[in-house]
Copies of this chain bind each other. A is one copy, B any other.
Amino acid sequence: MENASAPKPHVVILGGGFGGLEAAKKLSCEPVRVTVVDRTNYHLFQPLLYQVATAALSPADIASPLRGILSECKNMEVIMSEVVAVDVDLRKIRMADGVLGYDYLIVATGARHSYFGHPEWEKLAPGLKSLEDAVEIRRRILMAYEYAERISDQAARRAAMTFVVIGGGPTGVEMAGAIAEIARYTLAKDFRHIDPSETRVILIEGSPHVLAAFPTDLQESARKQLVDLGVETRTGIHVTNITEDGVQVGDEFIPCRVKIWAAGNTASFVGKSLGAPVDKVGRVLVNNDLTIPNHPEVQVIGDLANFPHQTGQPLPGVSPVAMQQGRHAARNILAMIDGRKPQRFWYLDKGSMATIGRNKAVADLRLVHFSGLPAWMAWLFVHIIFLVGFRNRLAVLFQWGWNYLTFNKGARLITRNFQAEQRPPT
């Protein structure tokens, strides 16, 4: 890994998500040597993952090979490996298959699902963080209909056609809306013994409103748009148990075959190995310049960072925060190499959006709030613009145009996956 001809400072970036990738791009062709480490070989556009899970897009539409994105400048190297821990005193990173030194480090390994002390729920109610998760959820949704088509027992059929989404944030709302749309439009004519429009989609949220981070008027608008699609929303109530047969919510047991987890996150375990203080969900408490105490050469960004210096609250785990922090961290490193100090980070909040279904969305642009068609158009526009890779943009535009015009989803393939299913196929 050592390059004798280059005494340039070595920057290591852990994670090729939104934050890590922006930092890497900012350091491209600069007088540093950069190594990006990621467990996959691609950058994943996570905001559209639910569309892979609901058969609207294919994995390759929303993932772009990291080597391809970063091939232009020779100062950039990509390693596909799993990070185990960081030793900030020795400035060494331990990976599953080797050790890597650094002069400057950006840690952007993000977050995973948290099952609130119930790790046994993970297999029963998979979450949506990776391509593998999305393909597995797609398989479960489609297999539920295959199963329902072939059984005569009414209760079992009803349970197979009941989908419970746990967590009413943007991901949960998007999943619930997308499943309701598949049932109503895409699968309408596919079966002979069931009517897919009898599908029940139940969205469960522990706080009093869905989209808790949005303004009140948009929460109410989102609720109405979900009702329009036939999604049953239950708020202010918690899931207390999950079994193969269903979900316990308060006093009620909802029999259902497919459950999807969109509730909690926990930060990557890499954060804890840095030796800096972490919060309850494992996020690293960073200084106001994104560095960690006593180690200005180490910065933490994105979902792994708890940055409370601007509003008193941690900044939300969304891609604009990660991207702005990624660029800032890169600038900080170039400044330190020049003998200057790292600068304070300020987040510029341009607003947030969530989509619910065809022509249905909410958009909070701070000064104005949209919902319905205008919000949906804004959502489409922003997501196409930020999708990495011109090919992906064209491919997704084509798919969306096709899906919109035909109500049809071409990617509804049931393929086997690395996770064995909990029960046999039928």
**Of B60, B63, B402, the contact of A391 (CB 8 Å cutoff):** B402
**Of B74, B392, B394, B412, the contact of A192 (CB 8 Å cutoff):** B74
Contact B189 A60 (CB under 8 A): no
Contact B418 A65 (CB under 8 A): no
CA–CA, A30 and B187, complex, Å: 23
Contact B41 A413 (CB under 8 A): yes
Residues of B within 8 A of A97 (CB): 150, 424-426
- CB nearest neighbor in B for A131: B415
**Of B40, B58, B63, the contact of A60 (CB 8 Å cutoff):** B58
Contact A410 B389 (CB under 8 A): yes
CA–CA, A142 and B391, complex, Å: 20
Contact A60 B394 (CB under 8 A): no
CA–CA, A80 and B139, complex, Å: 13
Residue of A98, A191, A411, A424 most packed against chain B (CB within 10 A):
A411
- CB nearest neighbor in B for A189: B71
Residues of B within 8 A of A79 (CB): 150
CA–CA, A58 and B399, complex, Å: 13
Residues of B within 8 A of A414 (CB): 40-42, 80
**Interface membership of chain A positions 274-295, coded 1 if the CB is closer than 8 angstroms to chain B and 0 otherwise:** 0000000000000000000000
CA–CA, A146 and B165, complex, Å: 37
Residues of B within 8 A of A59 (CB): 58, 413, 415
Known contacts A71-B189, A418-B417, A425-B97: does B411 contact A60 (CB below 8 Å)? yes
Residue of A142, A191, A391, A414 most packed against chain B (CB within 10 A):
A391
**Of B410, B416, B426, the contact of A395 (CB 8 Å cutoff):** B410
CA–CA, A405 and B389, complex, Å: 15
Contact B398 A394 (CB under 8 A): yes
Contact B425 A150 (CB under 8 A): no
Contact A131 B413 (CB under 8 A): yes
**Interface membership of chain A positions 110-130, coded 1 if the CB is closer than 8 angstroms to chain B and 0 otherwise:** 000000000000000000000
- CB nearest neighbor in B for A146: B80
Known contacts A71-B189, A398-B394: does B416 contact A146 (CB below 8 Å)? no
Known contacts A59-B58, A417-B418: does B150 contact A98 (CB below 8 Å)? yes
CA–CA, A413 and B69, complex, Å: 13
The answer, yes or no, to whether A408 is at the interface (CB within 8 Å) is yes
CA–CA, A40 and B413, complex, Å: 8
**Interface membership of chain A positions 44-79, coded 1 if the CB is closer than 8 angstroms to chain B and 0 otherwise:** 000000000000001111011101100110100111
Query: A144: shortest Cβ distance to chain B, in Å?
Result: 12
CA–CA, A74 and B58, complex, Å: 29
Contact A408 B68 (CB under 8 A): yes
Contact B142 A41 (CB under 8 A): yes
Residues of B within 8 A of A71 (CB): 189-190
Known contacts A58-B59, A408-B68, A426-B97: does B413 contact A42 (CB below 8 Å)? yes
Contact B146 A413 (CB under 8 A): no
The answer, yes or no, to whether A81 is at the interface (CB within 8 Å) is yes
Q: 15 A-B Cβ contacts within 8 A?
A: A1-B150, A41-B142, A41-B413, A42-B414, A58-B60, A64-B410, A68-B408, A72-B189, A80-B425, A97-B425, A97-B426, A132-B416, A135-B415, A389-B410, A418-B418
